[in-house]
Amino acid sequence: MKKILAIILIAVTTFVSAQQKYIEHTVQPGETIKSIAKAYLVTPFDIYALNPDAQRKFQPNSVLIIPNSKIKNAPIEEESKELTGYTTHKVKRKETLYGLTQKYGVSEEEIKKANRFLYANNLKKGDKIRIPRYKTVSSKQTLTNTVKKYTVQPKEGKWRIAYKFGISVADLEALNPFMKDTIQPGDELNVPNIQDQEEKEIESEFGYYEVLPKEGFYRLKVKLNLTQEQLEHLNPELKETGLKAGMVLKIPGTVKGTSELETVSTTNLKTNLTNFKTKKIALMMPYRLDRIDVDAVEETKEMMKNNNLLSTVLEFHIGVMMALDSAKQLGISTDLKVFDTRYNVAKTNDILVENDFSDYDAVIGPIEEKSFSRVAMSLKRDNIPVIAAMTKPSELLSNVFQTLPEEKLMRQAMINFVKADSSQTKVVIISDHAHRTSSEALKQEFPNAKIIYSRPDKKNKSKDAFFIYHTDLQNVISAGKTLVFLETDNYNYSTSVISMLNGLVGPKTDIILATLDKGKAFEGKDIDNNNLSNLHFHYPSVRKDYDEASSNGFVKAYRAEYGVSPSKYVARGFDITLDLLMRLASAENLYDSNLEAIETEYVENKFRYKKTLFGGYINEAIYIVKYDNLKIIDAN
């Protein structure tokens, strides 16, 4: 444990400091809003729009966000001459007005204006005339506002507004650094100050799609089932500009993102490694080192032992470090920077302000939801991938990689697994009343299935009593093979049903227990793992247990170092990090690593990312696992 703490303390001291990517200006003594606006070719209104506090609090060393709008005030240099004095010249033999203009850089009219007698007389030898001297004065055009205020209308989201004003979603977010993750009707946003006739019309029957980096017409044809001609018809500007990353396209409202789970063979990326540039990775975790007294070793050990969050973070961190070592053996070097978010949004914000992440290949974490959203939003401007390692983000921005599959995909994977069983299997659904809707939807997948609902409370019929009678099961379980879905979150209910089902198993009666969502109802001291093994309990899972009998270098290395088997958090830290580094080494960047076509598998986790239609990437690689001889193994 002491060694773990030492590793983290060393890693955390390697923080780097640089400037934030989006346009910022630190106010200097003597500067005014007007002078700053002039320097950046914007107006005071533009600065106040993005920095409302500057109207009441403007002082040296405060930081202003300067708008980076679609509207650019290109200065038009208008030069004018300002008279500064005269030079006396005595005319020599054969000198002409033209010669004097060439010598002094003035026009004939300017010389005549200074010597009016020359309008009526010719220049002659001996005349003493005045030659005007000028200095050139440059003036710029009057600037117009680059941004204006726009009130969000009903049914408008970021994509529609970005489309309306001809900018990308990233541009809209850059103009509104304090915009909420989900905008609501009535919200006021900063938008480019274009003419009303330049605004694109939003049509309710259409949807809007943001073009990804290096996404071409062929890829859009696969994803949206729209040809180049169809896209150009809906978006005429494409004929002139072509596809550009970040642009928002109008698409038919009927076009939906595919949600079917695809079957992809597992790929060993070791054969695909081509990019051996050092990978720059940030790891943001709530180590809370400010609470640790490194001089009080025993107290620190005790705190780590009793603090579940810290224990999880440290175990994940060890997995990350082991992945870096494994990648190094493959020729992949990593520059890892570790940041302590302290499970605090304000601290996370300080990290973002004090460091420049624009050249990072990816950021892993944070695990706290609000901190993660803040990081993802900030780094979206530079399209830096942000990996949601152990939680699901509240909003899936286009640069977010969600490593945990969605519940609906996991449920569908379980249903698909059962349907793929070629043997004739009877299906029974046992449910409590809280899961009535999902159980009825499950019956639609298996029309011949029988449903058994838990009995209501005798005194209060609207209340669930969470039990069924033994005869309820006897009436539907018969000789042969029966698959039973048990859908409940109630621990006592699941315990009772599992026990009754196990009592019905016999030489001629084979019962397979399954659930679409394995929660705490299937875990606890009263759940007998022997019963679950006897019922071949199946469920969808983001992970599987590693095979202790197989040769596993990671497990052996961990046991050799720490004397125990690695936890699921150690394995997850290892798997996520190694997969990230392997994908980065097999392409120019993470977005180009053939995400949807490649499924990878490591110790306990596997990954296949799919781009959502209007957001980031979700891992769709799901295990169906089962209990077998008191072990949890891959059912596939």
Q: Determine the average pLDDT of the residues in 413-439.
A: 87
Q: Do residue 418 and residue 529 come from a single domain?
A: yes
Query: Is residue 619's pLDDT more than 50?
Result: yes
294 has pLDDT over 60? no
Same domain, 458 and 537: yes
pLDDT of residue 292: 65
Measured torsion, CA atoms of residues 117, 122, 125, 130, in degrees rounded to the nearest 10: 40
> 313: closest CA among 280, 333, 340, 351?
340
Least confident range of 102-106, 119-123, 496-500: 119-123
Same domain, 498 and 566: no
Is 302 or 357 the better-scoring residue by pLDDT?
A: 357
Do 41 and 164 reside in the same domain of the chain? Answer: no
Most confident of 39-53, 289-303, 385-399: 385-399
Domain boundary among 521, 541, 561: 541
Q: Are strands 400-402 and 362-364 parallel, antiparallel or unpaired?
A: unpaired
User: In the chain, count of helices (H) and strands (E)?
Assistant: 21, 24
The Cα 260–Cα 272 span in angstroms is 27
The percent of residues in the chain predicted with pLDDT above 70, rounded, is: 86
Q: Which residue type does 208 have? A: Y
For residue 604, the domain's CATH number is 3.40.50.2300
Domain boundary among 252, 287, 310: 252
The arithmetic mean of pLDDT across residues 362-366, rounded, is 96
Model pLDDT, residue 73: 57
Rounded to 5 degrees, φ, ψ at 136 are: -85, 130
Residues 516 and 428 in one domain: yes
Q: What's the pLDDT at 116? A: 87
What total number of domains does the chain contain?
Answer: 5
Please state whether the peptide bond connecting residue 366 to the residue before it is cis, i.e. omega within 30 degrees of 0: yes
The answer to whether residue 515 is domain-embedded is yes
Query: What gap in Å lies between CA 106 and CA 496, rounded to an integer?
Result: 105
Q: Specify the pLDDT at position 549.
A: 60
For residue 459, give the amino acid letter.
Answer: K
| pLDDT of 2 above 70 | no
User: Considering the entire predicted model, what is its pTM?
Assistant: 0.62
Do 399 and 417 fall into the same domain? no
Tens of pLDDT, residue by residue over 435-466, are: 998 899 899 889 999 999 999 988 888 899 99
pLDDT digits (tens, 9 = 90+) for 374-387: 999 999 989 999 99
Strand partners, 605: 543
Residue 3 is predicted with a pLDDT of 46
Q: Which of 433, 444, 388, 387 is nearest to 411 (CA)?
A: 444
Q: Are residues 611 and 560 in the same domain?
A: yes
Q: Is the pLDDT of residue 519 over 50?
A: yes
Per-residue pLDDT of 296-342, as tens digits, reads: 556 655 665 667 888 899 999 999 999 999 999 999 999 999 999 99
pLDDT at 37: 81
Question: Highest mean pLDDT: which of 24-28, 457-461, 565-569?
Answer: 565-569
- 243 versus 144: the higher-pLDDT residue is 243
258 domain-assigned = no
DSSP 347-377: HHHHHHHH---TT-SEEE---SHHHHHHHHH
In this structure, are 357 and 468 located in the same domain? no
Of residues 77 and 544, more confidence is placed in 544
**pLDDT the model gives residue 194:** 78
Please give the biggest Cα pair distance in the chain. Answer: 134
Average pLDDT over residues 160-168: 83
Higher pLDDT, residue 37 or 448: 448
Please tell me the predicted confidence (pLDDT) of residue 487. Answer: 96
Most confident of 96-100, 169-173, 179-183, 221-225: 96-100
Confidence bin at 184 (pLDDT 50/70/90): confident
Please give the pLDDT value at position 147. 82
Beta bridge partner(s), residue 617: 401, 611
pLDDT of residue 458: 86
> What is the predicted pLDDT for the residue at 77?
57
Q: Which of 222, 252, 282 is the last residue of a domain?
A: 252
Over residues 142-163, the mean pLDDT reads: 81
| Position with higher pLDDT, 183 vs 412 | 412
Mean pLDDT of 473-482: 90
- Let me know whether 313 and 415 are in one domain: no
Full DSSP string of 308-326:
HHHHHHHHHHHHHHHHHHH
**What does the pLDDT read at residue 19?**
31
Q: Is the pLDDT of residue 366 over 90?
A: yes
Q: Which of 211-220, 249-258, 517-526 has the lowest mean pLDDT?
A: 249-258
CATH number where 15 lies? 3.10.350.10
Please give the average per-residue pLDDT across 428-436, as a whole number.
Answer: 94
Mean pLDDT over each residue of the chain, to the nearest integer = 84
In terms of Cβ atoms closer than 10 Å to its own Cβ (0-12, 13-18, 19+), residue 476 is: middle
Instruction: Looking at the structure, tell me whether residues 293 and 348 fall in a common domain.
Output: yes
CB distance 377 to 322 below 8 Å: no
Return the structure tokens found at 247. 């642009």
What the block records as the tokens of 548 is 């202790």
263 within some domain: no
Residue 156 lies in a domain: yes
What is the extent of the structural domain holding 400? 269-405+550-628
Please say if the pLDDT value at position 259 is more than 50. no
Asked, for residue 531, whether it belongs to a domain, the answer is yes
Share of the chain above pLDDT 90, in %: 43
Q: Are strands 362-364 and 386-388 parallel, antiparallel or unpaired?
A: parallel
Residue listed under structure tokens 């990230």: 580
Output the six-digit token pair for 563.
């004397």
Where is pLDDT greater, at 291 or 538? 538
Are residues 99 and 215 both part of a single domain? Answer: no
CB 42 within 8 A of CB 67: yes
Buried b (16+ CB within 10 A) or exposed e, 34-67: eebbeebebbbbbbbbbbeebeeebeeeeebbbb
Task: Give the span between the Cα atoms of 540 and 525, in whole angstroms.
Answer: 22
User: What does the pLDDT read at residue 17?
Assistant: 27
519 and 603 in a single domain? The answer is no
**Could you tell me the pLDDT band of residue 595, with boundaries at 50, 70 and 90?**
low
